[in-house]
Chain A
Amino acid sequence: MTSLSPDCNELKKQYDDCFNKWYANKFLQGDTTPECEDLFKLYRACIWRAIKEKNLDQLISDARKEKPFSGPEDTRTGET
């Protein structure tokens, strides 16, 4: 799948490939220690540049205030 910015496609692909392998071969087998962190840093820096260029950063930070990046307790409260 392509990224928001064509500039990030290659970094995204490298990260996605790493993550999908880790998810199948490590995470689902019980080893939840993160890998692919270095690739993610590079990809994330690229995608956030694109987000700022498209002026989406404010929209994202507003949405984060409503639903922060936190544990699933949030979803449980939302259900009731």
Chain B
Amino acid sequence: MKLFETEYLFAHPWCTLTLANWQKYPNQYSSHVLSVDVLDRSVDPETGILTTERLLCCKQSAPALLRRILPIPEVAYFREISYLDPRSQTYTAISTNLSMRSFINLEEKCEYKADPEHPEGKTVFTQQAAVSAMGVLSYGAKLVEESAVNSFHKNAARGRQGLETIVEKLVEEAKAVEQGFKDGLETHLRKGNMGVPEP
């Protein structure tokens, strides 16, 4: 098992980043992402937590050596489940590979959380990935896992750059949303819930 972890501080408020995150694809840094679909989505009326299940289809990034020994498909499918909590200003998304699971297990966890020191202006982004190779691949596990971690590294940087380009596009809309989010949050914190606002 090989782990990868990175942390980054975005100079944007949490509400803006999550707004951009839903619109992240396509962007100029994400040519490896071929399609994104929502499979299921719901809001818990008690907690206000938004749960989303998505299916992502990406270009295969397995090393050439492996592709010679195994019938690796051209594309890889990932399922992502995410929980967005507006009260704690936390968004957590966990992605796992759907294909090739008898050979390799990839799990990536991304979290956007309002920076406790600057909750209105900055967001802490953490990204963790765990890779484990199994079955026939366990013989070459070190190689496979290192290669997977390398692509996480590359894609992590691209992912951040991609998100920044979307934030730039949304800058005007985001200003209004940020003010409304702040007002809404204050109202609801006073009321002690995140339910439907009074008419």
CA–CA, A29 and B182, complex, Å: 8
Q: How far is the CB of B85 from chain A (nearest CB, A)?
A: 7
Give the Cβ gap from B2 to chain A, nearest Cβ, in Å: 18
Is A29 in contact with B180, judged by CB distance below 8 angstroms?
yes
What is the minimal beta-carbon distance from A6 to any residue of chain B, in angstroms? 10
Chain A proximity mask over B157-179: 1 for CB below 8 Å, otherwise 0: 00000000000000001000100
Identify the stretch in B15-23, B59-67, B131-139, B143-151 within 8 Å (CB) of chain A at 4 or more residues: B15-23
Identify the closest chain A residue to B34 (Cβ): A2
| Residue in A1, A23, A64 whose CB lies within 8 Å of B36 | A1
CB-defined interface of B1-32 with A at 8 Å, one 1/0 digit per residue?
Answer: 00000000000000100110011011000000
**Which residue of chain A is the closest to B187 with respect to CB atoms?**
A30
**Chain A residues numbered 13-37 whose CB sits less than 8 Å from any CB in chain B:** 15-16, 19-20, 23-25, 27-34
When the two chains form their complex, are residues B55 and A24 in contact, meaning their CB atoms are under 8 A apart? Answer: no
CB of A34 within 8 A of CB of B43, answer: yes
| Most chain B C-beta atoms within 10 Å of own C-beta, residue among A3, A23, A27, A60 | A27
- The CA-CA distance from A34 to B25 in the complex, in Å, is 23
User: CA separation between A36 and B33, bound complex, in Å?
Assistant: 25
Q: A72-B83, A75-B92 are in contact. Are A28 and B50 (CB under 8 A)?
A: no
Task: Check A60–B79 contact: CB distance below 8 A.
Answer: yes
Task: Decide yes or no whether B70 CB sits under 8 A from chain A.
Answer: no
Assess the B184–A71 pair: CB atoms within 8 A.
no
Interface, chain A (partner B; CB < 8 A): 1-4, 8, 12, 15-16, 19-20, 23-25, 27-34, 40, 43-44, 47-48, 51, 56, 59-60, 62-64, 66-67, 69-72, 75, 78
